[in-house]
Structure 1
Amino acid sequence: MKILRIIPAFLRNKFLVATVAFVVWILFFDKNDLFAQLERRHELHELDKSKDYFTEQIEQERHFSEELKNNPATIEKFAREKYFMKRDGEDLFLIEPAESNTKDK
């Protein structure tokens, strides 16, 4: 039993060994290990940012919807920009931006 004398006393404690083994298992080998938790936290952060963005977009669309319901000038502006509508006697010119020709020679 010379081997047992070489091992320090605190490492021969079965409760300590069991606790350390349990902690190592939970941190590295479990399906909800430390790395999975960090990845989920990052994903939650991204989803929170996405939620804030879409909440802001919904608020802007509600405001625009109310403007369309109540303001005839907004309706006219929307029809002109979105559907290229015009008044009688007006000429409408559509100018498309030129394509950039950036070829490596």
Structure 2
Amino acid sequence: MAAMSGGGGSKEGLENTAEEKISKEQFKQFVETIKARDNVRLVMVKLRETAPELYNAMVAERDAYMANGIDKLDQFDKMVAVVGIAHVDGIETNLKERGWAPVSIPCQLR
């Protein structure tokens, strides 16, 4: 994978990154690792600690916005909300604060 630069800036610190190449299999393994919910939680904690303003803008505010939208649909008996894995915990927390309770429904094949 090639390194990217912000254009015209110093490449200091990028030399090794640009020269290191990973295989398709290594990249696939990395993607699968980062998709695990526990790993996403760790990344979100680290982001919140190191860049709280960025975390709030890109995660927390969106979680609240999506939870608000879901909350407005409470008149329906059933609904499905498809969200990115980084938003699941935050949306669940926001909905619990509004009185929602988690429900597990097993998948059924027809």
On whether the aligned pair clears a TM of 0.5, the verdict is no
The higher-RCO structure (CA 8 Å, 6+ apart) is: 2
**Category of TM-score, reference length = shorter chain:** under 0.3
Larger-Rg structure: 1
Normalising by structure 1, what TM-score? 0.28
Higher helix share: 1
Normalising by structure 2, what TM-score? 0.27
